[in-house]
Amino acid sequence: MMLLIFLVTLVIALLAQWHVKRAQARHSHTTTLSGYTGAEVGKQILRQAGSTNVDIVEHEQLLGDHHDPLRKRLVLSKANYHGTSAAALGVAAHECGHAIQHKMAYAPLQTRTAAVGDCSSFWSISFADRKA
Ligand SMILES: [Zn+2]
């Protein structure tokens, strides 16, 4: 029974990941009228949410965009940090949502962070650490 639950969960996770990658690829060529980059949009969202103590940094890898609650920063791939596509702005906005959840002490995020621990050392291997 446990194996079945594991396999169903794995399939659902893989389908979700495939769907996100597909949507991001499709909208990475969709231009926005504002011309803002992902980093600029992230900065505006965080400022309007009162989260001015959260930095935005870029990293060299294609994937791995995330919010790092321990270092209080958003880590965006180079494409999303500098990109002006709908996908780049969407990813930046998504990560801002996690920073806002952290500020609000959103219980499901706290549970997730407690469950997976600090993943920042995994992600920080190749960060360029440039601020927005
Ligand atoms: Zn997320």
Q: Is the Cβ–Cβ distance between 28 and 87 less than 8 Å?
A: yes
Tell how far the Cα of 105 is from the centroid of ligand 1, in angstroms. 15
User: What's the CA-to-centroid distance between 94 and ligand 1, angstroms?
Assistant: 6
Question: 65 alpha carbon to ligand 1 midpoint, in Å?
Answer: 9
DSSP character at residue 52: T
Q: Residue 117: its pLDDT value, please? A: 66
State the distance from the centre of ligand 1 to the C-alpha of 31, rounded, in angstroms.
23
pLDDT of the chain, 132 residues: tens digit per residue: 899 999 999 999 999 989 988 988 888 889 899 999 999 999 999 999 999 999 999 998 766 899 998 899 999 999 999 999 999 999 999 999 999 999 999 998 888 878 876 555 454 444 444 444
Longest dimension (CA), the chain: 51
| Distance of CA 107 from the midpoint of ligand 1 (Å) | 15
Each residue of 18-40: b (16+ CB within 10 Å) or e? eeeeeebeebbeeebeeebbbbb
Residue 88 CA to residue 33 CA, distance in Å, equals 13
Quote the ligand 1 centre to 92 CA distance (angstroms).
10
| Cα 87 from Cα 25, distance rounded (Å) | 8
Spacing, Cα 97 to ligand 1 middle (Å): 8
Q: What is the pLDDT of residue 47?
A: 97
CA 109 to ligand 1 center in whole angstroms: 10
**Would you say the C-alpha torsion 63, 65, 69, 74 has a positive or negative sign?**
positive
The pLDDT, as a whole number, for residue 7 is 94
Q: What is the pLDDT of residue 53?
A: 94
What distance in Å separates the CA atoms of residue 7 and residue 115, rounded to the nearest whole number? 20
According to the model, what pLDDT value does residue 128 have?
A: 41
